[in-house]
Structure 1
Amino acid sequence: MRQVALFCIGGFLGFLIDAGLVQFLVTRFDANPYASRLLSFVCAATGTWLFNRRFTFHGVRHYGHFGEWSRYLLAMSGGFAVNFTIYSTLVYHHELMQRLPALAVAFGSMGGFLVNFSASRFWIFRQKKP
């Protein structure tokens, strides 16, 4: 349960990075809301990786920093696919979501949570059996 709680905290921090950056890019620079999500995803995933490696899944490391980070991004891509599908559908079909893409990010994040936790727990930060 501790890992789930900490993963949720890390996920919330990632959400703040993701939603904040995409909202900033869309409102300040009139950026494309779909392309903006690709940049915001990489930034948010990097933030959650840093949090999760330090607090949620601390312990013995099986990879170097770059190896762990790149595997983490790959693992989070599954959750991002679910997240981005929900996000894109909402932005495409609802004018409110086009103006407030951070709200669409929130709905998408809920969809990608289980995929991301499973990938983190059982692949990236798995503990070796004693």
Structure 2
Amino acid sequence: MKREILRFAIAGLIGLIVDAGVLYGMLALGAGYFIGRAVSFVAAVWATWQFNRRFTFAKGTSKSPWIEWWTYLLAMLGGGIINYAAYSTAILLLPKHALLPLIAVGIGSMAGMTVNFVSAKLWVFKPRSES
């Protein structure tokens, strides 16, 4: 379990980097803080799914990768709602400066991580049942 939590945290760090990078890219393209974050969130979920399915929960599931991806995205929406609420609160309340999006993404990521771990472990990557 400790190894899974550590690997899930590593996946979260990868997701944070992807999230912030895509968000800054979207902001550079003219998207606002909120639309840009919606796009960056999906990119981060994709990145964390790739890592988690290969390293964190490597035993895998009996689901096809396509079904597993959509199940993972759906599962991450629980933590994503908490994540986005914390991000939005930070954007609205903290002073505006160049690092604000990065700080807000970090706050959101920490807020949603526990919900995401539990849903990934107990639902998405539930070990294959022995028959």
- Tell whether the 8 Å contact from 1:91 to 1:97 is kept in structure 2 after alignment: no
Q: Which has the higher helix share?
A: 1
Moved beyond 3 Å, runs of 4+: none
Q: Which residue does the alignment assign to 2:23? A: 22
1:116 matches 2:119: no
Secondary structure in 2 aligned to 1:96? coil
- Tell whether the 8 Å contact from 1:92 to 1:98 is kept in structure 2 after alignment: no
1:37 matches 2:37: yes
1:78 matches 2:84: no
In the TM superposition, what whole-angstrom CA distance separates every residue of 1:68-96 from its partner, at most 9, and x where no partner exists? 00000000000110000010011112232
Secondary structure in 2 aligned to 1:95? coil
Q: 1:112 to 1:119 in 2, by over 3 A?
A: same
Of 54-63 and 92-101, deviating more is 92-101
User: TM-score, normalised on structure 1?
Assistant: 0.92
* Structure 1, gaps ≥5 residues long: none
Q: Which residue does the alignment assign to 2:6? A: 5
Identity of paired residues, percent? 38
In the TM superposition, what whole-angstrom CA distance separates every residue of 1:5-25 from its partner, at most 9, and x where no partner exists? 000001100000001111222
Secondary structure in 1 aligned to 2:96? helix
Of 47-56 and 60-69, deviating more is 60-69
Secondary structure in 2 aligned to 1:44? helix
State the aligned residue count: 129
* Structure 2, gaps ≥5 residues long: none
RMSD (CA atoms)? 1.6
User: TM-score, normalised on structure 2?
Assistant: 0.91
Deviation at 1:98, TM superposition (A): 7.5
Output aligned runs, 1:26-105, within 5 Å: 26=27, 28-96=28-96, 100-105=100-105
- Tell whether the 8 Å contact from 1:17 to 1:43 is kept in structure 2 after alignment: yes
